[in-house]
Structure 1
Amino acid sequence: MSADARERGRIVVGVDGSESSKDALRWAVRQAELTDSTVDAVTAWEYPPLYGSIGWIDAPQELAGDIKGAASRALNHAVKEAVPPDQTARVHCGLAYGTPAAVLLDQARGADLLVVGSHGHGGFAGALLGSVGQHCTQHAPCPVVVVRG
């Protein structure tokens, strides 16, 4: 890694394909341009829990490729839609296995900023802040920006 790359700031942004996460990505890219930082656009993926006759069980391992592939496609589509062509070199895409809050907190270690949307795909429509955003604001190792649409 070059000295220039080490001196640049790093902004981590959670992207799940929702409009709120695309707004967060747009904000993060604008901030990165102002501060000459890079953006790590991160999508979390995990196996869906299944309920069987013996209780909660893990999904079959052969689903991993399908789930990870869908997460990758959603991330790439969000970046293509939200990032101006002249800024794509500044954005690094990453997939990580785990819950969204845990993945974002892990990725935010050593970052200058963590950016999240106010709501993802889940949650309650009337809530002011989604559960992932709330968890990140309470536990992040760096400053957090919550972008509202």
Structure 2
Amino acid sequence: MDGYRRIVVGVDGSAPSKCALRWAARQAALVGAVVQAVVAWEFPAFYSWEGGPMPPDEFEESARKSLDDTVDEIERDDGLPPVTIERQLTHGHAAQALLDASEGAELLVVGSRGHGSFYGALLGSVSQRCAAHATCPVVIVRG
């Protein structure tokens, strides 16, 4: 779409992701862009269909609530300029969901949880994967 400027930001309800969303909102106001807040959810690898911590349909609802709560909190922040924040809930791995959503975007913004090199190597890092594979510039915001 001509003239449609978009900044994609990963949101998971954590303090670093809220910092990333605030940063993205300020940047969007400067450049006249829309913020697209993206939450990805998936079933945990250890989840069993026979029973788990919550029924399968509640995983998506929990992610939606996290997205809504986070965006609502940021939209109430009087210190931020008014910008449009679109909400996107996606099923899948967080890094891949952000990479897909950021196709054609001006910028991808993610928070850094600050895991050390051991945990980063063990768990993999959404921010590292996004920085390495995104087709647009990536900003990693530390909380």
* TM-score bin (small chain): 0.7 to 0.9
Tell me how far apart the structure 1 counterparts of residues 109 and 49 of structure 2 sit (CA, whole Å).
30
Aligned length, in residue pairs: 133
The answer for the alignment partner of 2:85 in structure 1 is 91
Match of 2:57, SS state, is helix
Tell me how far apart the structure 2 counterparts of residues 132 and 78 of structure 1 sit (CA, whole Å).
19
> What RMSD in Å do the two structures reach over aligned CA positions?
2.4
Paired amino acid for 1:36: G
CA contact (8 A) 1:40 1:91 kept: yes
Paired amino acid for 2:19: D
Match of 1:81, SS state, is helix
* TM-score calculated relative to the size of structure 1: 0.79
Post-superposition offset of 1:97: 0.5
Match of 2:20, SS state, is helix
1:77 maps to 2:69: yes
Tell me how far apart the structure 2 counterparts of residues 59 and 49 of structure 1 sit (CA, whole Å).
11
1:108-123 maps to which residues of 2 (within 5 A)?
108-119=102-113
Which digits, 9 at most, give the CA deviation of each residue in 1:84-122, with x for residues without a partner? 47636x000010010100100000101110000011xxx
Which digits, 9 at most, give the CA deviation of each residue in 1:35-62, with x for residues without a partner? 11001000000011227xxxxxx646x9
CA contact (8 A) 1:71 1:95 kept: yes
The answer for the alignment partner of 1:16 in structure 2 is 12
